[in-house]
Amino acid sequence: MNPVNVNREPVLAPDLAARVSRVGLVLAVLGLGAGFALGAAEGDNLRHFFWAYLVGFAFFFTFTLGGLFFVLVQHVTGAKWSVSVRRMGEFAMNTVPALGIMAIPLLYPLLTNAGREEFGGLLWPWVQPHGEHADLVAMKEPFLNVPFFIGRMVFYLLVWWLMARFFMKRSLQQDTDRDPAYAPTIAMRKLSAPGIIVFALTLSFASFDWLMSTAPEWFSTIFGVYIFAGCVLTIHAWLVISSVFLQKQGYMKKEVNAEHYHDLGKFMTAFTVFWAYIAFSQFMLIWYANLPEETGFFHSRTTEAWKTMSYLLIVTNFFVPFFGFLSRHVKRKPKMLAMWAVYVLIVHWLDLYWLVMPSMSPESNPFGLIEVATTIGAFGLFLWAFARQGVRHSVLAYGDPKLGDCLAHENY
Amino acid sequence: MSNNSSAELHGIIAEYHTVEEILAAAETVREAGYTRWDCHTPMPVHGLDRAMGVRETRLPWVVLIAGLTGGGLGVLMQWWMNAIDYNYRISGKPDWSLPANIPVAFETTVLFAAFAAFFAMWIANGLPRWFNPLSRNARFARATDDRFFVAIQASDPMFDQDATAAMLSSSGAHAVETVEEPDETSRPPAVFRGAVWSLVSLAMLPLFLVAMARYNTSDKPRVHLVPDMDFAKRIKAQAVSDLFADGRGTRPPVAGTFALEDMEAVGADPAYYTGKLGDSFVTDFPLEVTPELMQRGQERFGIYCAVCHGDDGRGKGMVAQRAAVLSPATWVAPTDLHTQPVVDLASGQLFDSISNGVRNMPGYSSQISYQDRWAIVLYTRALQRSQAASAQDIPEGVNLR
């Protein structure tokens, strides 16, 4: 509670950042390369590879969008507690260009003829409606058609890129300009409210497009919120991991303390519950109404090959982390919290895997090296784009006027 | 320092001006070994608990246990209601199915946890209490404004008026004062007590009225709280209505009505679509009898018919039981499907009863497809057979116990 003398010095870690981003690049090349090689070896026209790639892509995308949401919500609420970790959130949101690079290969399954006859498409089965429900899927053609789909994809990425740039630029201006009228701070605050609306809509529709349309005859309006829950969990876990890592390397020792970890932990607890709440809301309405066009999704996931995994997810993604995070002591011990954060990222990935893969292979769980490799690759690409920014920029938003409040922050 | 020896001593308070002072003082008092004392501050002071040596609160455990209890009881309650007390199949779900219980269990979890937190806080803080002697001290009023206080109670085993006061003075207090127990009793004033008692009695009134109404009969019309809902302008199915010349609320379809799409089909296979050939009901079953069809019939019977006729067809379904209690005068009991006249009905006539209803029973043609209606006929036949079985029906080699 003593007023903290704010020492407005940048925290620069260019060598560390360069090293981490190199590791990221190596992981990306090796992971995606190995995934591709394994996929090509399966001789299924890369079908399995592309589905696994989509899971990795979704994993990457939840980091970026989680970062964007984190930054937006700090500005819209005028949050003080988070200033010292916000720059890491900004780094995460500012990985949109790399996400765009990762989206390019996804054009292949949209444009090639391979797999159209048999599966309706290599990846998204609506590319050419086929099979039992072809007529239903065909009716969605005005929305689910290749040119419009690609257009939307470009649109989402463009919007996110513009938003990320806007907030990144203003945040850096706070550091260097020290404008006594706080122009960049106010600009960010103003744009954050409409920004959240744009975020909500684009995230929701991107989730519909990229993930939900892997089961094109199915629909759930809450689906975007479900993905959103994963994004928020992911970014808080990631902030914990990066802060603990930086501190271990000797940076930001004072700037991030037990109080900040405590708050990050609270958000992970809250969003663990939120995830369960949304997941159950989605399930219960469909289960109760029992309408044929809605139940397919859960039917394939709660019978035969996927049954065990579905029930397991309830335990791994809700009960374990919920009781794990419940205690105040866990949230205030950085190393322990970081271990839980890694756990959260792993189970979040399992969740994405469970959302996507049963649509490719309802009869059997195809889990194998190929999923692991592509996901490591996707994560590596994210890590590269994330850490590269640390080479040029301070990892602390040291010019934010609320930094002093942040450092003095205490939980009651 | 006032020192009025006539009144009983409640304790000693010491006043401080800053957060640093109160933190230092709290440490001094703690180190001196006092146990019955407290700090009063105008705003939450970080680190005060530590300085005072306050044990970590056990409230979270209370809340956790209460929450788990609430969740458990929520599930238990619904299990008992759905599977034991009033087991009633709803939209083909099992009598007791967990997913349907989760929202309620979630609410009971929150309810129990919130109440436990609320009342445990009362207990932990010694509430409810009419007033605190400290609030009689003029100086102490600034504890809600800009001053910090340490208050040590006279009941503390370490308490010694002079030594304690000296200790507080040396801890940097700006003022040290004794606080007496008030002369008056600490009972609330009579007006207040009167008001509480009248409120409590008034609150009982509705309960008495409800209890009275339950055990008395009255010839007055009942009270209608929402008249336009109780007397909605509508025509009840099967009820009389003066809107139509024939007085029937339910309008029969115009003679010879068929759904357009069925017209051709009906012409091509009247036995299947109407249960009739010419004017007489068919006696053969128009479909191939398969185990699947039988199962389908059993399932549909369970969904559409069992509510009235009962799972066993004896007319003791849940709706029938309720209706017999609620309106014994007007309710016509569902027919026992095992009576000889029903057993002797032609299959086509059974089909016709399901399609178009019979006397007081409504028709189900709008809900049940043709094939399902035949499946129900088939299952009804099996049900009738099962209830009229004799020893000869038992396959050879099966042991009777």
Q: Are A325 and A269 in contact (CB under 8 A)?
A: yes
The percent of residues in chain B predicted with pLDDT above 70, rounded, is 94
**Mean pLDDT highest for which of A147-156, A176-185, B90-99, B154-163?**
A147-156
The maximal CA–CA distance of chain A, rounded, in angstroms, is 70
Is 80 exceeded by the pLDDT of residue A16? yes
pLDDT in the model for residue B262:
62
User: How many Cα atoms are found within 13 Å in the side-chain-facing hemisphere of A330?
Assistant: 16
Residue B152 parent element (H or E): strand B148-153
For B261-389, give the CATH class.
mainly alpha
A126 CA: distance to closest CA in chain B (Å): 32
Query: Closest by alpha carbon to B118, among B73, B62, B72, B69?
Result: B62
Q: Do B46 and A1 touch (CB under 8 A)?
A: yes
Cβ distance B102 to A280 less than 8 Å, yes or no, reads: yes
A94 vs B79: CA distance, rounded Å: 51
Mean pLDDT, to the nearest integer, of A68-94?
95
Contact A410, A259 (CB under 8 A): yes
Report CA Rg, chain A. Answer: 22
Q: What is the mean pLDDT of residues B237-252?
A: 83
| Residue B234, amino acid | R
What are the chain A neighbours of B44 within 8 Å (beta carbons)? 412
C-beta of residue A370 within 8 angstroms of C-beta of residue A55: no
Q: A3 pLDDT exceeds 70?
A: no
DSSP letters along B239-278, please? SB-TTSTT-BSSPPPPTT---GGGHHHHHH-HHHHHSEET
Closest residue in A to B48 (Cα) is A412
**What is the per-residue burial (b if ≥16 Cβ within 10 Å, else e) of A342-381?**
ebbbebbbbbbbbbbbbbbbbeebbeeebbbbbbbbbbbb
Which of the listed ranges A123-137, A258-272, A394-408, B1-15 does the model predict with the highest average pLDDT? A258-272
Query: Cα(A138)–Cα(A140) distance, rounded to whole angstroms?
Result: 5
Amino acid at A396: L
User: A-chain residues within 8 Å CB-CB of B113?
Assistant: none
What's residue B244's pLDDT? 83
CB pair distance less than 8 Å for A1 and B92:
no
Q: Is B48 on the interface with A (CB under 8 A)?
A: no
Would the CB atoms of A284 and B99 count as touching at under 8 Å? yes
Q: Where are the domains of chain B?
A: 1-187, 261-389
Backbone angles phi, psi at B14, to 5 degrees: -130, 140
Unique residue bearing structure tokens 């994330």: A386
Q: What is the pLDDT of residue B258?
A: 65
Q: At what angle do helices A47-77 and A369-392 cross, to 10 degrees?
A: 40
B33 touches chain A (CB under 8 A): no
pLDDT mean over B331-360? 91
pLDDT in tens, B256-311: 776 665 666 666 788 888 888 888 898 888 889 999 999 999 999 999 999 999 99
Reported confidence tier of residue B3, pLDDT bands at 50, 70, 90: very low
For chain A, give every domain's residue range. Answer: 22-169+182-388
Contacting B with CB below 8 Å, chain A residues are 1, 280, 283-284, 287-288, 290, 326-328, 410, 412
* Chain B nearest-CA residue for A1: B46
- The shares of helix, strand and coil residues in chain B, as percent rounded to the nearest 5, are 50, 10, 40
Q: Which of A331-335, B46-50, B234-238 has the highest mean pLDDT?
A: A331-335
Residue B340 burial by Cβ neighbours in a 10 Å radius (0-12, 13-18, 19+): exposed
For the residues A237-242, what does the mean pLDDT come to? Answer: 97
- The separation between CA A387 and the C-alpha centre of its own chain, rounded to angstroms, equals 16
B148-153 and B9-16 strand pairing:
antiparallel
Cis? peptide before B206, omega within 30° of 0: no
Average pLDDT over residues A173-193: 90
Please tell me the distance from the alpha carbon of residue A57 to that of residue A375, in angstroms, as a whole number: 8
Residue B153 confidence (pLDDT) above 70: yes
Sheet containing B37-40: which strands, arranged edge to edge?
A: B37-40, B148-153, B9-16, B175-180
Provide the pLDDT for residue B1.
Answer: 40
Amino acid at B33: G
Closest CA to A333 of A255, A265, A271, A395: A265
CB-based contact, B206 to chain A, within 8 Å: no
Instruction: Give pLDDT, residue A107.
Output: 95
SS3 B220: coil
Question: Average per-residue pLDDT in chain B?
Answer: 88
* Model confidence at A170: pLDDT above 80: yes
Closest chain B residue to the Cα of A283, Cα to Cα: B99
What does B278-319 look like in DSSP terms, one character per residue? TTEE--S-SS---HHHHHHHHHHIIIIIHHHH-TTSSS--HH
- Amino acid residing at A17: A
pLDDT of residue A117: 83
A354, pLDDT greater than 50: yes
Say how many C-beta atoms besides its own lie within 10 A of residue A315's C-beta. Answer: 11
Q: What share of chain A is helix, strand, coil (3-state, %, to 5)?
A: 75, 0, 25
| pLDDT, tens digit (0-9, with 9 covering 90-100), for B59-107 | 999 999 999 999 999 999 999 998 888 877 777 788 888 999 999 999 9
Confidence band of A306 (pLDDT split at 50, 70, 90): very high
Q: How far apart (Å, rounded) are the C-alpha atoms in residues B373 and B218?
A: 47
Mean pLDDT calculated for residue range A320-340: 94
Q: How far from A399 is each of A80, A396, B347, CA to CA, in Å?
A: 13, 9, 87
Closest CA to A59 of A383, A410, A389: A383
Q: Please tell me which of the candidates B46, B92, B93 has its beta carbon nearest to residue A410.
A: B46
The ipTM assigned to this model is 0.83
Q: What is the mean pLDDT of residues A55-73?
A: 97
Tokens of A108: 């292949």
* Contact residues, chain A, for B42 at CB < 8 Å: none
Determine the Cα–Cα distance for residues B34 and B338; give it in Å rounded to an integer.
85
Q: Quick check: B44 and A412 CB within 8 A?
A: yes
A269-293 residues labelled b (16+ CB within 10 A) or e (exposed): bebbebbbebbbebbeebbeeeeee
Contact check, Cβ <8 Å, B64/A1: no
B9-16 vs B280-281, strand pairing mode: unpaired
**Position A158 pLDDT exceeds 90:** yes
CB within 8 Å of A174: residues ≥ 6 apart:
A184, A185, A397, A399, A400, A401
The residues, any chain, with a CB within 8 Å of residue B185's CB and separated by 6 or more, are none
**Minimal CA separation from B170 to chain A, in Å:** 25
Q: How far apart, in whole angstroms, are the C-alpha atoms of residue A189 and residue A42? A: 51
* Strand, helix or coil for residue B138: coil
Q: Which pLDDT does position B2 carry in this prediction?
A: 43
